[in-house]
Amino acid sequence: MTVVLITGGAGFIGSAIVDAALAHGYTVRVLDSLRADVHGPASVLPHVPGSERGFGAGNARPAGLDPRVEFVHGDVTDPATVARSLAGIDVVCHQAAKVGLGVDFADAPDYVHSNEVGTAVLLAAMTESGISRLVLASSMVVYGEGSYRGPNGPTRPGPRLASDLDAGRFDPVDPETGQALEPVLVTETDPLDPRNVYASSKLGQEYLARAWARSTGGRVAALRYHNVYGPGMPQNTPYAGVASLFRSAIERGEAPRVYEDGRQRRDFVHVRDVAAANVAALEFTAWEGSAHSGAVRPFNVGSGIVHTIGDMATALAAATAGSLAPIVTGQYRLGDVRHITASSERLRTELGWSAQVSFEDGMREFATAPLRAAVRP
């Protein structure tokens, strides 16, 4: 029976992967630090002696974790904890990371330490343990702005100017003609252009995994998640995604506040579909003689269907009785991208995965689904 270590397995996406892996017959161990700015104190149960079967480094276990799961309470940046966590493991699913755009650049050391140092520690320990299979949680943010078609063919516009955003000119234009660019689906071969610290740290994880794979002959599937949503999202924190912020506003009886003009194009993918993609990637890394041994194979993980941020806010409000209609504010965050939507064709053709939860069904469920308790940023 294959034994998988899921780092960050107590988190929003990680816990969904735990459920999916158990359902597919994997034996699961979770390593999670249960950091307060993600989980909050209410999500932790007192330690039960023997519940970690000798692997635990701390005195807590996350509430709701399946009793079949071995749990290691510790940080992925700690070499001793990681080494213990890898004992008897066949494959690693690395989800542990500090996520979101953050508050300001003062968050940079935490992003780099949590994401890049943590990944380096994990990969070094995997090398020592002889583990050659890795599924890595990456992100659409490594692309920066999405892909476009202009009057002269494919193009990638640079960062938007504050003067244009102040004037309500949100869409990138061709610098020579001034014509609006047509957004198209981004593919795994498109250029990478991280535009904030979080994005830089996610691409750093991919580069570290690539160096590790080349050095050891390991096999890596890097899953570039697009906008993930669903039950159990963290509530009302600056590190949460826009879906959580809209959903939190509705729960407070407030209208969702939509930045810019609400026409920003995104690909919203349900967390259960993301979990299924991870299970498919676990199988991919097991292929003996894979042509991708010694390399990182990236995969976009998205629904493949374009919706706008305004669409999402409207759908959530409409699915909740008494909700106020979304308010389009015209505000913006400098550094946000305008349009980015995924082609997940590689994931479909190579791993046999496709999204199963429709936007309409997913938003109806998410509108009233429980969120994780609000936590201190």
Q: Each residue's pLDDT tens digit in the chain (377 positions)?
A: 899 999 999 999 999 999 999 999 999 999 999 986 666 654 545 444 444 444 544 457 888 899 999 999 999 999 999 999 999 999 999 999 998 766 678 889 999 999 999 999 999 999 999 999 999 999 999 999 999 999 989 998 888 899 999 999 999 998 888 888 999 999 999 999 998 899 999 999 999 999 999 999 999 999 999 999 999 998 866 556 789 889 988 888 899 999 999 999 999 999 999 999 999 999 988 775 555 667 899 999 999 999 999 999 999 999 987 778 999 999 998 878 999 999 999 999 999 999 999 999 999 999 999 888 765 54
From first CA to last CA, the distance across the chain in angstroms is 39
Q: Based on C-alpha coordinates, what's the Rg of the chain?
A: 20
Report domain extents, the chain. 3-146+186-374
Distances (CA, A) of 135 to 7, 8, 17, 316: 11, 13, 12, 32
Domain 3-146+186-374 has CATH 2.60.370.10: no
pTM: 0.92
Q: Which two tokens stand for residue 321?
A: 């009785």
How far apart (Å, rounded) are the C-alpha atoms in residues 104 and 102? 6
pLDDT value, residue 49: 44
From the list 165, 121, 306, the residue with the least C-alpha distance to 226 is: 306
pLDDT at residue 323, rounded to an integer: 76
3-state secondary structure of 27: strand
Who's near 85: CB < 8 A, 6+ residues apart? 5, 7, 29, 31, 55, 72, 74
d(CA 358, CA 360): 5
Q: CA 122, CA 318: separation in Å to the nearest integer?
A: 44
Nearest to 93 by CA among 264, 331, 274, 305: 274
